[in-house]
Chain A
Amino acid sequence: MPIPQTLYEKLWASHLVHEEPDGTALIYIDRHLIHEVTSAQPFDSMRDAGRGLWRTFGHLAVAEHNVPTAHRASGIRDELSRRQIEALDINTNEFGIQFFNMNDDRQGIVHVIGPEQGLTLPGASLVCGDSHTSTHGAFAALAFGIGTSEIEMVLATQCLWAKKSKTMLIKIEGELQPGVSAKDLVLYLIGAISIGGATGHALEFSGSTVSALSIEARMTLCNMAIEAGARVGLIGVDSKTLAYVLNRPMSPTGTVLEQAVSYWRTLVSDAGADFDSEIVIDASSVEPQITWGTLPDLVMGVNGCIPCPESFDTRERQDAVRNALDYMGLEAGMTASDIHLDKIFIGSCTNSRIEDLRAAAKVVRGRRVASSIHLAMVVPGSMSVKRQAEEEGLADIFIDAGFEWRDPGCSMCLAMNDDRLSSGERCASTSNRNFEGRQGPGGRTHLVSPAMAAAAAVAGHFVDVRRLTTTP
C-alpha cells in the first residue's frame, strides 16, 4: 500500500526538479501572473544580466493595482501610476509576454482573470508577485505569492527555490445560515486561529461545508489563507472544479482533455493522509463577521460587541488592541449598529466576482444608499464580470440605489489609484486587509462580506443582513 498523501504533498512532488540536502528544493512553475507594481524591477534586472525568458508560454500580465476605475478613456492622471503601467507594457512587449492593458476587454484583477481565462488549472503550480495568489488554490493548483527577486527567478528559470511547508487541515462541517458567506467563514477562521496561526503551513479546506460552496466562494476562502499566515490554501478537485475549468479560453481542449480530467480527479488528499495539524469548524454557528481592529483577526460576530483590551491574554495583544481601538476611533462595548460608515467598497480579489455582486445586489434592490454615506462604490473584478453584471441588471440595481458603478481593478482594497479613504474616514469593505492606512493614510477599514457591506450602505451603519433579507 502506498502511503496516503495530502493534496499539497502530491502537488509538491509533481513539481520537484531537484532537492538539496537540507530539503530546499528547486520546484517548477507552470503559470505566472504579472502586474505592474512588483514587476518593473525584475524585468530591468533581466536586461542588466543579459538574461532571456526561460519560456514565454505560461506568463500573463495585466494592469490592475494602479488603474483608475472611472474615466478610463482620459488615461491615468497620476504620473507614477502611468509610468508603472507603461513599463509593464514595454516589458511584456519586449519579452513577448501576453498583456491585458486597462482597456482590454479581458482586463481585471489578476486573481479574478486567472481562473476566468483558464490560466489557472488544477495540478498546475502558479505564482504571482502578490500574496493573494493563494486564491488559485481553490482549483487544487499549487499557488502562492512571491517577491520581486522570485519573479525574476521565474522569468529566467521557470523555477523557484522553496522549502516544503507543513500542512494544516481546516475541516468545516455543517450548513451555513442564510446570509452567511465564505467571507464570514474565513474571517471567523482567522479570528479563531489568529493572523499568524497558519504561518509556515499550507492549508487545505475540506468538509461538507466546503463541498457545498460554489467555486467562487471557495476562491474567497483560499484568497484569505494568507491573512492567517498561510502562503497556500487548497481545496481538492470535485465535479464543481471540473465544470468551472472546462471551456475557458486557455483551458485544454481536444485530445488531451480526457487525460486532463482523469489526472485532475486524482488531485484530492488520500483517505488517511496525515496533516501536521487539524482544525474543525462548525459552520452552522458562524454569524456574519465584522472586523473592528487593524488586523484581520480582530473580528466579531454581527451580534457581538467590541471586546475590552484587558480580555486578551498577553500584554502585547492588549497593546495591539488598544492601538487598534485608538486608530479605529472605537471603544470596547460598542455593537455593530454603533459603527457608522462614511464609505462602502464592494470589490477586490476577495469579493468582486459575479456571485458577490449578486449577493450585494439582492440586499440593495429597491433600497437606497443612506444619505450619511459619502461614497458607495462597486468595482467588478474584471471586464467580464462587469459585462455579466450589466446583462443581469445588477449594475442598474446598484446605480438606482446610489452606488457608483466602476471599471475593474484593485481600487480601494489598497488605494494605489484615486479610490481611497481620507484620514479618519470609515469604510465597510469587502477586501482582505484592515491594516493601518491600507485604504489610505488614516483610513479606517472594516472587513465584511458583500451582503453585509450592502446592508451597511443602506442603513448607514452595520446591521445584521439576515434582518434585511425580505424585499422592502
Chain B
Amino acid sequence: MNSFSLPFTGLVAPLDRENVDTDAIIPKQFLKSTVRTGYGNHLFDAWRFKDDGELGMPVADRRPNSEFVLNLPRYQNASVLLARKNFGCGSSREHAPWALNQYGFRAVVATSFGDIFRNNALKNGLIVIALPEDKIDALFQAVEASPGYTLTIDLSGQKMVSPDGKNLTFDIDPFRKRCLIDGIDEISLALSFDASIKLYEKQAAALQPWLFQG
C-alpha cells in the first residue's frame, strides 16, 4: 500500500503551450547541483520569474512574472499539470521530473510526451497521462471555465474523474503501473534476474567477444 494505490484529487493548472521542452521545465543553469533536491523553486524559471535566478535562490527573493499561469492565484497549490503535445521534449535531464515533483505536481496530463521524459517521470512517481487531442481540448476549456477545477486520478483503475463525475480512462504500461503501485525498485527487480543476465553475457560473449574484453 502506498500513495499510488489510492486515488488522489488535485487542482489542475493549464499550461497552454505545445512542445514544452526540458530546458524550459528546468533551465541548465540549475543543473550544476550534485543532489536530487532543490529544483522545485526553479521549475519553469524563465517563465515564472522576471529576474535571472541562481541555483538555490529562495522564491521570496525573486521577481515573479505575475502573468505566468502558475503564478495566478487561482492555480496556487495545483498538483495536476495540464499540457499540450510533446511535453518534455529535448534533453534527458531527470531534473525535469524532479522539479515538477518538488514544486508539488503529482501528475501531468497532456496530448503526448517526449520519450525520455516519460520514462524519467514514471521512475520518479510523476504520473504522466496521455489523452487524445479532443479530450485535452475539452479539459482546457473546463479548467478555464471553472475556477477550482480538480481531477481525481485513480492509477489502479486507470481513470480520471472530473468534478461533474465524468470518467476519463487512460493507458499506462502494465509494467510501469505495477512498479508504481507495488513500490517496486527497478534495480532490485533487475538484480532478481541475475542468472538471466549472466547467461546472456555468456551467450553474447560467444557472439561478440570483443564487447566483453577489457
Contacts and interface: CB of A to CB of B under 8 A. Distances in A.
Are A and B physically bound partners?
A: yes
Interface of A: 14-18, 20-22, 24, 26, 28, 30-31, 37-38, 40-41, 44, 49, 51, 54, 56-58, 66, 78, 80-81, 83-84, 87, 121, 123-124, 129-131, 133, 145-150, 152-153, 156-159, 161, 163, 165, 195-196, 199-200, 226, 229, 231, 251-252, 256, 259-260, 263, 295, 316-317, 319-320, 323, 414-416, 433, 435-438, 441
A13 to B, nearest CB: 11
11 contacts: A14-B208, A28-B204, A83-B32, A121-B211, A145-B92, A147-B116, A157-B191, A165-B115, A195-B86, A229-B115, A320-B19
Contacts of A40: 34-35
B129 interface: no
Contacts of A14: 204, 207-208
A22 to B, nearest CB: 4
A441 B175 contact: no
Interface string B178-205: 0000000011011101001100110010
A148 B123 CA distance: 10
Nearest to B115: A231
Contacts of A80: 32-33, 55
Contacts of B186: 149, 153, 161
A55 B181 CA distance: 31
B46 A437 contact: yes
Contacts of A158: 197
Contacts of B92: 38, 129-131, 133, 145-147
Given A148-B94, A149-B94, A195-B19, A156 B191 contact: yes
Nearest to B33: A80
Contact-size category for B: 35 or more
B127 interface: no
Contacts of A159: 190, 193, 197
B143 interface: no
A237 to B, nearest CB: 13
Contact of A416 (B28, B207, B210): B28
B146 interface: no
Contacts of A38: 92-94
Interface string B13-52: 0001111010110011101111110000000001000001
A212 B211 CA distance: 29
Nearest to B193: A18
Given A165-B115, A252-B213, 14 more contacts: A26-B196, A37-B31, A58-B211, A146-B116, A149-B186, A157-B190, A163-B173, A229-B115, A256-B209, A263-B207, A316-B16, A316-B18, A317-B18, A435-B23
A26 B193 contact: yes
B119 A150 contact: yes
Contact of B23 (A260, A320, A437): A437
A25 to B, nearest CB: 9
A422 to B, nearest CB: 10
Q: Top 5 closest A-B pairs, CB basis?
A: A252-B210, A57-B214, A40-B34, A196-B86, A80-B32
A259 B207 CA distance: 9
Contacts of A319: 16-18
Contacts of A438: 23, 28
B90 interface: yes
B18 A437 contact: no
Contact of B32 (A66, A130, A433): A66
Nearest to A152: B187
Contacts of A149: 94, 120, 123-124, 186
Given A41-B36, A156-B187, A195-B89, A123 B208 contact: yes
Contacts of B32: 37, 66, 78, 80-81, 83-84, 416
Contacts of B124: 149
B112 interface: yes
Contacts of A30: 208, 211
Nearest to B91: A131
A30 B200 CA distance: 12
B137 to A, nearest CB: 10
B106 interface: no
A157 B120 CA distance: 18
A167 to B, nearest CB: 14
B116 A161 contact: no
A146 B29 CA distance: 20
Contact of A145 (B31, B113, B116, B214): B116
Contacts of B35: 40-41, 44
Contacts of A152: 187
A231 B89 CA distance: 11
A158 B200 CA distance: 11
Contacts of B33: 80
Contacts of B21: 295, 433, 435
Contacts of B64: none
Given A14-B207, A28-B200, A44-B34, A196 B116 contact: no
Nearest to A423: B52
Given A17-B196, A159-B197, A22 B175 contact: yes
Nearest to A131: B92
A270 B12 CA distance: 49
B86 A260 contact: no
Contact of B210 (A56, A256, A433): A256
Contacts of B176: 24
Interface in B87-125: 89-94, 112-116, 119-120, 123-124
A229 B19 CA distance: 10
Contacts of B29: 415-416, 441
